[in-house]
Amino acid sequence: MALYVQKFGGTSVGSIERIEHVADKVKTFHDQGHQIVVAVSAMSGETNRLIGLASDISDTPTPREMDVLVSTGEQVTIALLAMALQKRGVNARSFTGWQVGIKTDNSYMKARIEDIDTSAMRAQLDAGGVVVVAGFQGIDDDNNITTLGRGGSDTTGVALAAALGADECQIYTDVDGVYTTDPRVVPAARRMEKVTFEEMLEMASLGSKVLQIRSVEFAGKYKVPLRVLSSFKDGNGTLITMEENSSVENPVISGIAFNRDEAKVTIKGVPDIPGVASKILVPISDANIEVDMIIQNVSADGTTDFTFTVHRNDYQKALDILRDTATELEAREATGTDDICKVSMVGVGMRSHAGVASKMFKTLADENINILAITTSEIKISVVIEEKYLELAVRALHTAFGLDAEEETA
Protein backbone atom coordinates (compact mmCIF):
# COMPACT_ATOMS: atom_id res chain seq x y z
CA MET A 1 0.00 0.00 0.00
CA ALA A 2 1.36 3.35 -1.02
CA LEU A 3 0.53 6.98 -0.37
CA TYR A 4 0.16 8.91 -3.61
CA VAL A 5 -0.46 12.58 -4.19
CA GLN A 6 -2.21 12.90 -7.55
CA LYS A 7 -2.51 16.33 -9.15
CA PHE A 8 -4.99 16.85 -11.97
CA GLY A 9 -4.58 19.91 -14.19
CA GLY A 10 -7.19 22.19 -15.74
CA THR A 11 -7.86 20.17 -18.90
CA SER A 12 -8.19 17.00 -16.83
CA VAL A 13 -11.05 18.57 -14.84
CA GLY A 14 -12.28 20.79 -17.68
CA SER A 15 -15.82 19.37 -17.90
CA ILE A 16 -18.24 17.27 -15.85
CA GLU A 17 -17.37 14.21 -17.97
CA ARG A 18 -13.70 14.72 -17.26
CA ILE A 19 -14.25 15.17 -13.54
CA GLU A 20 -16.23 11.89 -13.59
CA HIS A 21 -13.30 10.28 -15.40
CA VAL A 22 -10.84 11.57 -12.77
CA ALA A 23 -13.13 10.16 -10.07
CA ASP A 24 -13.03 6.73 -11.78
CA LYS A 25 -9.26 6.89 -11.88
CA VAL A 26 -8.88 7.93 -8.25
CA LYS A 27 -11.36 5.24 -7.17
CA THR A 28 -9.34 2.57 -8.99
CA PHE A 29 -6.20 3.49 -7.02
CA HIS A 30 -8.16 3.75 -3.78
CA ASP A 31 -9.79 0.35 -4.36
CA GLN A 32 -6.30 -1.13 -4.73
CA GLY A 33 -5.68 -0.11 -1.13
CA HIS A 34 -3.57 3.00 -1.74
CA GLN A 35 -3.97 6.18 0.27
CA ILE A 36 -4.82 9.01 -2.10
CA VAL A 37 -4.50 12.76 -1.74
CA VAL A 38 -5.72 14.62 -4.81
CA ALA A 39 -4.81 18.20 -5.69
CA VAL A 40 -6.84 19.83 -8.43
CA SER A 41 -6.63 22.89 -10.65
CA ALA A 42 -9.56 25.03 -11.72
CA MET A 43 -11.46 23.92 -14.84
CA SER A 44 -9.44 24.88 -17.92
CA GLY A 45 -9.97 28.50 -18.91
CA GLU A 46 -11.50 29.43 -15.56
CA THR A 47 -8.48 31.23 -14.09
CA ASN A 48 -8.14 33.28 -17.30
CA ARG A 49 -11.86 34.06 -17.19
CA LEU A 50 -11.57 35.32 -13.62
CA ILE A 51 -8.56 37.48 -14.49
CA GLY A 52 -10.62 38.90 -17.37
CA LEU A 53 -13.46 39.80 -15.01
CA ALA A 54 -11.01 41.69 -12.81
CA SER A 55 -9.63 43.64 -15.74
CA ASP A 56 -13.19 44.60 -16.72
CA ILE A 57 -13.44 46.32 -13.33
CA SER A 58 -10.01 47.83 -12.96
CA ASP A 59 -6.62 48.21 -14.65
CA THR A 60 -4.97 48.00 -11.27
CA PRO A 61 -6.87 45.56 -9.07
CA THR A 62 -5.14 45.06 -5.73
CA PRO A 63 -3.18 41.79 -5.51
CA ARG A 64 -5.08 40.81 -2.38
CA GLU A 65 -8.44 40.89 -4.14
CA MET A 66 -6.96 39.19 -7.21
CA ASP A 67 -6.04 36.24 -5.03
CA VAL A 68 -9.46 36.14 -3.40
CA LEU A 69 -10.89 36.04 -6.92
CA VAL A 70 -8.62 33.61 -8.74
CA SER A 71 -8.53 31.11 -5.89
CA THR A 72 -12.26 30.46 -6.38
CA GLY A 73 -11.73 28.31 -9.49
CA GLU A 74 -10.17 25.53 -7.47
CA GLN A 75 -12.92 25.59 -4.85
CA VAL A 76 -15.40 24.60 -7.56
CA THR A 77 -13.40 21.60 -8.73
CA ILE A 78 -12.62 20.18 -5.27
CA ALA A 79 -16.33 20.12 -4.44
CA LEU A 80 -17.34 18.58 -7.78
CA LEU A 81 -14.63 15.93 -7.59
CA ALA A 82 -15.51 15.06 -4.00
CA MET A 83 -19.18 14.69 -5.04
CA ALA A 84 -18.22 12.48 -7.99
CA LEU A 85 -16.17 10.26 -5.66
CA GLN A 86 -18.97 10.11 -3.07
CA LYS A 87 -21.39 9.08 -5.83
CA ARG A 88 -19.05 6.13 -6.44
CA GLY A 89 -19.20 5.12 -2.80
CA VAL A 90 -15.79 6.58 -1.93
CA ASN A 91 -15.44 8.47 1.32
CA ALA A 92 -14.03 11.74 -0.07
CA ARG A 93 -13.72 15.14 1.48
CA SER A 94 -12.74 18.44 -0.08
CA PHE A 95 -10.38 20.93 1.57
CA THR A 96 -9.48 24.47 0.57
CA GLY A 97 -5.90 25.66 1.08
CA TRP A 98 -6.62 27.15 4.48
CA GLN A 99 -8.56 24.10 5.64
CA VAL A 100 -5.44 21.98 5.26
CA GLY A 101 -3.19 24.72 6.60
CA ILE A 102 -1.15 25.51 3.51
CA LYS A 103 0.79 28.41 5.02
CA THR A 104 2.51 30.76 2.61
CA ASP A 105 4.41 34.03 2.73
CA ASN A 106 2.43 37.16 1.92
CA SER A 107 3.53 37.71 -1.69
CA TYR A 108 0.15 37.73 -3.40
CA MET A 109 -0.04 36.05 -6.80
CA LYS A 110 3.38 34.42 -6.34
CA ALA A 111 3.31 33.20 -2.76
CA ARG A 112 5.71 30.54 -1.52
CA ILE A 113 4.58 27.65 0.63
CA GLU A 114 6.24 27.73 4.04
CA ASP A 115 4.45 25.05 5.99
CA ILE A 116 1.64 22.52 5.72
CA ASP A 117 -0.32 21.14 8.66
CA THR A 118 -1.03 17.54 7.75
CA SER A 119 -3.35 16.69 10.67
CA ALA A 120 -6.68 17.18 8.86
CA MET A 121 -5.45 15.18 5.88
CA ARG A 122 -4.07 12.43 8.12
CA ALA A 123 -7.38 12.12 9.94
CA GLN A 124 -9.24 11.70 6.66
CA LEU A 125 -6.66 9.17 5.34
CA ASP A 126 -6.78 7.24 8.62
CA ALA A 127 -10.55 7.03 8.25
CA GLY A 128 -9.96 5.32 4.90
CA GLY A 129 -10.98 8.36 2.93
CA VAL A 130 -9.67 10.28 -0.05
CA VAL A 131 -8.45 13.84 0.48
CA VAL A 132 -9.24 16.39 -2.23
CA VAL A 133 -7.25 19.62 -1.90
CA ALA A 134 -7.60 22.87 -3.84
CA GLY A 135 -4.39 23.54 -5.75
CA PHE A 136 -2.80 26.96 -6.31
CA GLN A 137 -3.96 28.51 -3.03
CA GLY A 138 -2.77 29.04 0.50
CA ILE A 139 -3.10 31.40 3.42
CA ASP A 140 -0.62 33.83 4.96
CA ASP A 141 0.04 34.55 8.65
CA ASP A 142 -2.72 37.17 8.68
CA ASN A 143 -5.28 34.78 7.20
CA ASN A 144 -5.22 36.42 3.78
CA ILE A 145 -5.84 34.12 0.84
CA THR A 146 -2.76 33.83 -1.38
CA THR A 147 -2.04 32.09 -4.68
CA LEU A 148 1.13 30.47 -5.91
CA GLY A 149 1.54 31.89 -9.42
CA ARG A 150 0.24 30.51 -12.72
CA GLY A 151 0.55 26.75 -12.89
CA GLY A 152 0.85 26.70 -9.09
CA SER A 153 -1.25 23.58 -8.52
CA ASP A 154 1.81 21.56 -9.52
CA THR A 155 3.59 23.08 -6.55
CA THR A 156 0.64 22.32 -4.26
CA GLY A 157 0.87 18.68 -5.34
CA VAL A 158 4.60 18.43 -4.70
CA ALA A 159 4.40 20.32 -1.40
CA LEU A 160 1.63 18.01 -0.15
CA ALA A 161 3.71 15.00 -1.17
CA ALA A 162 6.73 16.38 0.70
CA ALA A 163 4.71 17.18 3.83
CA LEU A 164 3.04 13.77 3.88
CA GLY A 165 6.15 11.82 2.89
CA ALA A 166 4.24 10.38 -0.07
CA ASP A 167 5.68 7.54 -2.09
CA GLU A 168 5.20 9.51 -5.31
CA CYS A 169 3.73 12.75 -6.56
CA GLN A 170 1.91 12.10 -9.82
CA ILE A 171 1.15 15.08 -12.06
CA TYR A 172 -1.68 14.09 -14.39
CA THR A 173 -2.04 16.33 -17.41
CA ASP A 174 -3.07 16.41 -21.08
CA VAL A 175 0.18 14.93 -22.40
CA ASP A 176 1.57 11.54 -21.39
CA GLY A 177 4.85 12.79 -20.00
CA VAL A 178 7.68 15.24 -20.49
CA TYR A 179 8.69 15.44 -24.14
CA THR A 180 11.91 16.49 -25.81
CA THR A 181 10.04 19.70 -26.62
CA ASP A 182 6.42 20.89 -26.57
CA PRO A 183 4.61 18.23 -28.64
CA ARG A 184 2.09 20.87 -29.72
CA VAL A 185 4.83 22.68 -31.61
CA VAL A 186 6.90 19.72 -32.77
CA PRO A 187 4.75 16.70 -33.65
CA ALA A 188 7.93 14.58 -33.84
CA ALA A 189 8.73 15.32 -30.18
CA ARG A 190 9.49 12.23 -28.14
CA ARG A 191 8.40 11.31 -24.62
CA MET A 192 11.28 10.80 -22.22
CA GLU A 193 11.20 7.82 -19.83
CA LYS A 194 13.29 9.81 -17.37
CA VAL A 195 14.67 13.29 -17.08
CA THR A 196 17.06 14.56 -14.42
CA PHE A 197 15.89 17.18 -11.91
CA GLU A 198 18.61 19.47 -13.16
CA GLU A 199 17.39 19.28 -16.74
CA MET A 200 13.75 19.58 -15.73
CA LEU A 201 14.58 22.70 -13.72
CA GLU A 202 16.25 24.28 -16.75
CA MET A 203 13.43 23.23 -19.09
CA ALA A 204 10.81 24.67 -16.72
CA SER A 205 12.68 27.91 -16.14
CA LEU A 206 13.29 28.35 -19.86
CA GLY A 207 9.62 28.08 -20.72
CA SER A 208 8.42 24.45 -20.75
CA LYS A 209 5.15 24.95 -18.94
CA VAL A 210 4.47 21.27 -18.35
CA LEU A 211 5.62 21.74 -14.73
CA GLN A 212 5.71 24.96 -12.75
CA ILE A 213 9.36 25.66 -11.96
CA ARG A 214 8.73 25.91 -8.22
CA SER A 215 7.25 22.44 -8.17
CA VAL A 216 10.50 21.07 -9.60
CA GLU A 217 12.59 23.08 -7.13
CA PHE A 218 10.44 21.80 -4.29
CA ALA A 219 10.69 18.19 -5.45
CA GLY A 220 14.46 18.49 -5.74
CA LYS A 221 14.83 20.05 -2.33
CA TYR A 222 12.65 17.56 -0.48
CA LYS A 223 13.54 14.55 -2.67
CA VAL A 224 9.96 13.95 -3.73
CA PRO A 225 9.67 11.26 -6.41
CA LEU A 226 7.86 13.10 -9.20
CA ARG A 227 6.17 11.71 -12.28
CA VAL A 228 4.26 13.36 -15.14
CA LEU A 229 1.47 11.24 -16.65
CA SER A 230 -1.60 11.51 -18.84
CA SER A 231 -5.07 11.72 -17.34
CA PHE A 232 -6.47 10.13 -20.47
CA LYS A 233 -4.00 7.48 -21.54
CA ASP A 234 -2.38 4.68 -19.54
CA GLY A 235 1.39 4.52 -19.36
CA ASN A 236 4.44 5.15 -17.20
CA GLY A 237 4.77 8.82 -18.07
CA THR A 238 8.07 10.48 -17.27
CA LEU A 239 9.97 10.12 -14.02
CA ILE A 240 11.92 13.13 -12.84
CA THR A 241 14.99 11.47 -11.42
CA MET A 242 17.85 12.33 -9.11
CA GLU A 243 20.26 10.15 -11.08
CA GLU A 244 22.49 11.88 -13.60
CA ASN A 245 22.04 10.44 -17.08
CA SER A 246 25.16 8.71 -18.26
CA SER A 247 26.36 10.73 -21.19
CA VAL A 248 27.59 7.60 -22.97
CA GLU A 249 24.17 6.18 -23.69
CA ASN A 250 22.16 9.35 -23.62
CA PRO A 251 22.00 12.13 -26.15
CA VAL A 252 23.97 15.30 -25.51
CA ILE A 253 20.78 17.31 -25.74
CA SER A 254 17.77 16.15 -23.76
CA GLY A 255 15.27 18.79 -24.69
CA ILE A 256 14.46 22.11 -26.29
CA ALA A 257 12.52 24.76 -24.41
CA PHE A 258 11.18 28.04 -25.69
CA ASN A 259 9.57 31.13 -24.32
CA ARG A 260 7.52 33.73 -26.11
CA ASP A 261 7.19 36.04 -23.11
CA GLU A 262 10.28 38.00 -24.08
CA ALA A 263 11.11 41.53 -25.14
CA LYS A 264 14.35 43.38 -25.70
CA VAL A 265 15.34 47.00 -25.25
CA THR A 266 18.46 48.79 -26.48
CA ILE A 267 20.09 52.05 -25.55
CA LYS A 268 22.27 53.28 -28.39
CA GLY A 269 25.32 55.49 -28.34
CA VAL A 270 26.03 55.54 -24.61
CA PRO A 271 29.48 56.69 -23.47
CA ASP A 272 31.69 53.62 -22.95
CA ILE A 273 32.97 54.52 -19.50
CA PRO A 274 32.95 52.75 -16.11
CA GLY A 275 29.63 52.87 -14.29
CA VAL A 276 27.38 53.10 -17.31
CA ALA A 277 25.96 49.57 -17.02
CA SER A 278 24.85 50.25 -13.48
CA LYS A 279 23.39 53.65 -14.43
CA ILE A 280 21.27 51.80 -17.01
CA LEU A 281 20.29 48.80 -14.92
CA VAL A 282 19.75 50.26 -11.44
CA PRO A 283 16.55 52.14 -12.40
CA ILE A 284 15.31 48.96 -14.09
CA SER A 285 15.83 46.84 -10.98
CA ASP A 286 14.41 49.63 -8.80
CA ALA A 287 11.22 49.26 -10.85
CA ASN A 288 11.21 45.56 -9.98
CA ILE A 289 11.91 44.51 -13.56
CA GLU A 290 13.94 41.37 -13.93
CA VAL A 291 16.66 41.44 -16.58
CA ASP A 292 17.51 38.19 -18.33
CA MET A 293 20.20 38.51 -21.01
CA ILE A 294 22.59 41.47 -21.35
CA ILE A 295 24.65 42.31 -24.42
CA GLN A 296 27.08 45.17 -24.75
CA ASN A 297 28.50 45.88 -28.20
CA VAL A 298 32.14 46.66 -28.86
CA SER A 299 32.54 50.38 -28.62
CA ALA A 300 33.17 52.61 -31.58
CA ASP A 301 34.10 56.29 -31.20
CA GLY A 302 33.98 55.94 -27.43
CA THR A 303 30.28 55.02 -27.41
CA THR A 304 28.51 51.68 -27.34
CA ASP A 305 25.07 50.03 -27.60
CA PHE A 306 23.68 48.21 -24.60
CA THR A 307 20.85 45.69 -24.99
CA PHE A 308 18.96 43.57 -22.46
CA THR A 309 15.92 41.34 -22.43
CA VAL A 310 12.96 41.49 -20.02
CA HIS A 311 9.62 39.74 -19.59
CA ARG A 312 7.15 40.91 -22.23
CA ASN A 313 4.80 42.24 -19.52
CA ASP A 314 7.56 44.65 -18.45
CA TYR A 315 8.45 45.82 -21.95
CA GLN A 316 6.72 49.18 -22.02
CA LYS A 317 7.80 50.04 -18.50
CA ALA A 318 11.43 49.12 -19.28
CA LEU A 319 11.41 51.16 -22.48
CA ASP A 320 9.99 54.23 -20.72
CA ILE A 321 12.69 54.02 -18.05
CA LEU A 322 15.39 53.53 -20.68
CA ARG A 323 14.23 56.63 -22.57
CA ASP A 324 14.72 58.69 -19.40
CA THR A 325 18.15 57.13 -18.91
CA ALA A 326 19.04 57.93 -22.53
CA THR A 327 18.27 61.60 -21.95
CA GLU A 328 20.24 61.61 -18.73
CA LEU A 329 23.31 59.92 -20.25
CA GLU A 330 23.01 61.89 -23.48
CA ALA A 331 22.77 58.64 -25.40
CA ARG A 332 21.59 58.61 -29.02
CA GLU A 333 18.26 56.79 -28.46
CA ALA A 334 16.39 54.02 -26.66
CA THR A 335 14.51 51.46 -28.77
CA GLY A 336 13.03 48.03 -28.33
CA THR A 337 10.88 45.25 -29.69
CA ASP A 338 8.59 42.66 -28.16
CA ASP A 339 8.32 40.30 -31.11
CA ILE A 340 11.21 38.13 -30.03
CA CYS A 341 11.42 34.77 -28.31
CA LYS A 342 14.02 32.62 -26.61
CA VAL A 343 14.91 29.11 -27.71
CA SER A 344 17.06 26.98 -25.41
CA MET A 345 18.73 23.61 -25.71
CA VAL A 346 19.16 21.69 -22.45
CA GLY A 347 21.19 18.61 -21.61
CA VAL A 348 23.53 17.38 -18.88
CA GLY A 349 25.50 15.75 -21.69
CA MET A 350 26.73 19.20 -22.73
CA ARG A 351 29.21 19.07 -19.86
CA SER A 352 31.22 16.42 -21.63
CA HIS A 353 30.59 17.35 -25.26
CA ALA A 354 31.93 20.33 -27.15
CA GLY A 355 30.47 21.71 -30.33
CA VAL A 356 26.83 22.00 -29.31
CA ALA A 357 26.81 25.77 -29.68
CA SER A 358 28.44 25.78 -33.10
CA LYS A 359 26.04 23.11 -34.37
CA MET A 360 23.11 25.08 -32.97
CA PHE A 361 24.25 28.31 -34.67
CA LYS A 362 24.90 26.55 -37.97
CA THR A 363 21.46 24.92 -37.92
CA LEU A 364 19.83 28.31 -37.40
CA ALA A 365 22.03 29.93 -40.06
CA ASP A 366 21.03 27.25 -42.56
CA GLU A 367 17.40 28.29 -41.98
CA ASN A 368 18.36 31.94 -42.39
CA ILE A 369 17.44 32.72 -38.81
CA ASN A 370 19.35 35.61 -37.29
CA ILE A 371 20.50 35.28 -33.67
CA LEU A 372 19.90 38.44 -31.65
CA ALA A 373 21.44 37.35 -28.35
CA ILE A 374 23.08 34.30 -26.81
CA THR A 375 23.62 33.00 -23.27
CA THR A 376 25.08 29.76 -22.07
CA SER A 377 25.48 27.89 -18.83
CA GLU A 378 26.89 24.48 -18.04
CA ILE A 379 23.89 22.54 -19.30
CA LYS A 380 22.05 24.97 -21.57
CA ILE A 381 22.44 27.34 -24.50
CA SER A 382 19.78 29.97 -25.17
CA VAL A 383 19.36 32.22 -28.18
CA VAL A 384 16.99 35.08 -28.80
CA ILE A 385 15.44 35.19 -32.27
CA GLU A 386 12.50 36.88 -33.95
CA GLU A 387 9.26 35.30 -32.76
CA LYS A 388 8.07 34.52 -36.28
CA TYR A 389 10.90 31.97 -36.60
CA LEU A 390 10.11 30.13 -33.36
CA GLU A 391 8.46 27.00 -34.81
CA LEU A 392 10.98 26.77 -37.64
CA ALA A 393 13.92 27.08 -35.25
CA VAL A 394 12.64 24.53 -32.74
CA ARG A 395 11.79 21.98 -35.43
CA ALA A 396 15.12 22.41 -37.23
CA LEU A 397 17.09 22.03 -33.98
CA HIS A 398 14.99 19.06 -32.92
CA THR A 399 15.86 17.28 -36.15
CA ALA A 400 19.49 18.39 -36.26
CA PHE A 401 20.18 17.06 -32.77
CA GLY A 402 18.57 13.70 -33.51
CA LEU A 403 15.63 14.16 -31.18
CA ASP A 404 12.85 13.36 -33.66
CA ALA A 405 10.77 10.34 -32.68
CA GLU A 406 11.46 8.31 -35.87
CA GLU A 407 15.18 8.54 -35.32
CA GLU A 408 15.08 6.90 -31.92
CA THR A 409 14.49 3.43 -33.28
CA ALA A 410 16.66 3.93 -36.37
Binding residues for ligand ASP restricted to 57-86, rule: CB under 6 A: 73
Please report whether residue 209 would count as binding ligand ADP according to CB under 6 A: yes
- Minimum CB separation of residue 137 from ligand ADP in Å reads 15
In the complex with ligand ADP, the residue whose CB is nearer, 228 or 318, is 228
- Binding site residues, as ranges? 7-10, 47, 74, 173-174, 179, 184, 209-210
Dist CA 2 CA 22 (whole Å): 19
What are the φ and ψ backbone dihedral angles of 200, each rounded to 5 degrees? Answer: -65, -40
Binding residues for ligand ASP restricted to 145-164, rule: CB under 6 A: 150-154
Using CB distances below 5 to 8 A depending on partner kind, what does residue 42 bind out of ligand ADP, ligand ASP, Mg ion, none? ligand ASP
Residue of 59, 48, 143, 126 whose CA lies nearest to 91? 126
* CB contact at 8 A, 4 and 167: yes
Dist CA 291 CA 89 (whole Å): 53
Residue of 171, 173, 182 whose CA lies nearest to 403? 182
Please report whether residue 14 would count as binding ligand ASP according to CB under 6 A: no
- Minimum CB separation of residue 10 from ligand ASP in Å reads 5
In the complex with ligand ASP, the residue whose CB is nearer, 259 or 304, is 259
In the complex with ligand ASP, the residue whose CB is nearer, 122 or 260, is 260
**Helix 197-205 × helix 213-221 angle, to 10°:** 160
Dist CA 155 CA 121 (whole Å): 17
380, burial (CB in 10 Å: exposed 0-12, middle 13-18, buried 19+): buried
What are the φ and ψ backbone dihedral angles of 186, each rounded to 5 degrees? Answer: -120, 100
Residue of 256, 51, 229, 232 whose CA lies nearest to 154? 229
Please report whether residue 179 would count as binding ligand ADP according to CB under 6 A: yes
Piece in contact with Mg ion (CB under 5 A), picked from 62-70, 146-154, 176-184, 308-316 = 146-154
* CB contact at 8 A, 97 and 155: no
Please report whether residue 135 would count as binding Mg ion according to CB under 5 A: no
Residue of 208, 176, 195, 179 whose CA lies nearest to 240? 195
> What does the per-residue mask of binding to Mg ion show for 2-41, with x meaning CB under 5 A?
-------x--------------------------------
In the complex with ligand ADP, the residue whose CB is nearer, 41 or 124, is 41
Please report whether residue 97 would count as binding Mg ion according to CB under 5 A: no
Query: In Å, what is the CA distance from 6 to each residue of 183, 223, 333?
Result: 23, 17, 53
Dist CA 142 CA 182 (whole Å): 40
Dist CA 172 CA 124 (whole Å): 22
Binder among 129, 135, 207, 269 for ligand ASP (CB under 6 A)? 135
Binding residues for ligand ADP restricted to 184-203, rule: CB under 6 A: 184
Using CB distances below 5 to 8 A depending on partner kind, what does residue 389 bind out of ligand ADP, ligand ASP, Mg ion, none? none
Dist CA 342 CA 32 (whole Å): 45
Please report whether residue 176 would count as binding ligand ADP according to CB under 6 A: no
Please report whether residue 35 would count as binding ligand ADP according to CB under 6 A: no
Please report whether residue 311 would count as binding ligand ASP according to CB under 6 A: no
- Binding site residues for substrate, as ranges? 47, 74
Residue of 219, 217, 6 whose CA lies nearest to 92? 6
Binding residues for ligand ADP restricted to 103-162, rule: CB under 6 A: 151
Binder among 47, 156, 173, 309 for ligand ADP (CB under 6 A)? 173
Binding residues (CB under 6 A) for ligand ADP: these are 9-12, 41, 151, 173-175, 178-179, 181-184, 208-210, 255
* Interacting residue ranges for Mg ion, rule: CB under 5 A: 9, 151
